[in-house]
Amino acid sequence: MATASLAFSTPSPLQFRSHRRRRTASIRASVSESPVTATPSSSSSASPSSKLPLRKIPGDYGLPLIGPLQDRLAYFYWEGRDEFFKTRVRRYGSTVFRANMPPGPFLASDPRVIVLLDAASFPVLFDTSLVEKRDVFTGTFMPSTELTGGFRVLSYLDPSEPNHAPLKRLLFFLLSHRRQAVIPEFRRTFGTLFETMEAEIAAKGKADFGDANDRASFDFLARAFFERDPKDTELGLDGPGLITKWVLFQLGPLLTLGLPSYLEDLFLHSFRLPPALIRGDYDRLVAFFRESAGPVLDEAERMGISREEAVHNILFATCFNTFGGMKILFPGLVKLVGRAGAQLHGRLAQEIRAAVRDVGGGEVTMRAIEAMPLTASAAYEALRIEPPVPMQYGRAKRDMVVTSHDAAFEVRAGEMLFGYQPFATKDARVFDRPQEFVADRFVGAEGASLLRYVVWSNGPETESPSTENKQCAGKDFVVLMARLLLVELFLRYDSFEVEVGASALGSSVKLTSLKKATF
């Protein structure tokens, strides 16, 4: 769900390498006269910045206090998030413009941003030579460090800060030290999930995927990374509920929960929820990780990281980044594939079963998974359509020029840049039928060439996370988990049907039928 999610080390036997190519950064700084020009790489679909007209950034921030409040109400209630951006694109005739981003008063001292909504301008947010990533993980405000044990965890650190590199290396170690357990534990845990879904559908006619997914996701992470089953500890079955409450206290100012708007805006968007209200819950999570993550904490000490700082970073990476990502991504993937219908289901089932039989010798192995291009493409397409972390921020380190497809814009040092990813990854200048879920979009050489525009991981899919950048440390791990979910699903079933609703975080999905495998 974030720039500091759980990770595979590089290299790792579990890493997904299909379509991976090392390439130059999508955005490069043209080091010449000030201001610096942020221009797309030669492979981008955007025109060279030297040929684009220089345009003043349209839009304004309104009067102090009043302008940010008006934008917040429009964003959450009067227009809604997507319409908020669409309206201003039409108004200004530009995918780059000025606006205030929530939460604004009285949580964010400066809500002013420059909005980037196209595939040409958006990648400047990944270039840490041009933008600073310090304390911008949640945007124009930062949750209290009381929610993370008093530490600024990795997601809030800029790569230039001394703790960034060792903490990111610790996350690489976190996954790699038990990498052989990932596939077996995933199949064990999510196999149980689908058996539960079958029984619930038989009894009630439908089954809530979301709650079962939360339980399975946390159990899987604990078993795979720490060799611990939460139900056998003092945490019991409470983990997912505690995490969801803890995340709400951090992201509440950015969410709507369906409460009366005047109450929600006052209590959720205007003031911080007191961390003291969930201190006991957080302490229970800390105790679980302190007890369970011994080998990882030992490695942290060898790296020069204190055990106390390490345990809070491991907790954040596991619970916020990874559990939170699975909580959003998996229901979204099931929704999109479910709605695509039986024809796609048949193609996926044939590919998955053939690869497991012919390549894996009847077992789900990495070699077998690599032989499933349609499955991989479907996972990428879900990440393109509904990225788990839809917003990215970065503060300009220097004066620069940022280019859209149609114009160039001067940005001053210190200004906050904001990108709303679902617009950038549905750019009609890049993708055919951008609003549609096209499961085989990334199959073949032509499809693979589009992967550089899949940027859910805070960087292009064609690039790799490192200690020098803010790309999600667990980029390959997340894609592998999405593919494994489809593998487990279509090894068991020929087809399935879903009922979809809205949720504060992602989609609410209920399974209404599971048709058992017949071939």
| Residues whose CB is less than 8 angstroms from the CB of residue 314 and which lie 6 or more positions away in sequence, other chains included | 170, 174, 289, 293, 296, 297
Q: How far apart are CA 129 and CA 356, in angstroms?
A: 44
Sheet holding 391-396, edge to edge: 96-100, 112-116, 416-420, 391-396, 131-132
Q: How far apart are CA 81 and CA 61, in angstroms?
A: 17
| Residues whose CB is less than 8 angstroms from the CB of residue 455 and which lie 6 or more positions away in sequence, other chains included | 122, 123, 126, 387, 421, 424, 425, 461
Q: How far apart are CA 126 and CA 119, in angstroms?
A: 12
Structure tokens belonging to residue 9: 């080390």
- H-helix or E-strand spanning residue 416: strand 416-420
CB 427, CB 118: distance < 8 Å = yes
319 assigned binding-site residue: no
Sheet holding 207-208, edge to edge: 207-208, 507-516, 493-502
CB 122, CB 424: distance < 8 Å = yes
φ, ψ of residue 113 in degrees (nearest 5): -140, 165
Task: Give one DSSP letter per residue of 375-411, joined into a string.
Answer: HHHHHHHHHHHS-SS-EEEEEESS-EEEE-SS-EEEE
Residue with tokens 């972390």: 389
CB 421, CB 387: distance < 8 Å = yes
Helix%, strand%, coil% for the chain, nearest 5:
50, 10, 40
Sheet holding 408-411, edge to edge: 27-30, 36-40, 400-403, 408-411
| Residues whose CB is less than 8 angstroms from the CB of residue 352 and which lie 6 or more positions away in sequence, other chains included | 372, 375, 486, 487, 490, 491
Task: Give one DSSP letter per residue of 87-136, joined into a string.
Answer: HHHHHHT-SEEEEE-TT-TTT-S--EEEEE-STTTGGGGG-TTTEE-TT-
Q: What region does 16 belong to: left with phi over 0, alpha with psi -120 to 50, or beta? A: beta
Q: Which of 46, 50, 57 is nearest to 32 (CA)?
A: 50
Structure tokens belonging to residue 261: 């708007």
Residue with tokens 């954040």: 316
Residues at the annotated binding site?
472
Residues at the annotated binding site for heme?
472
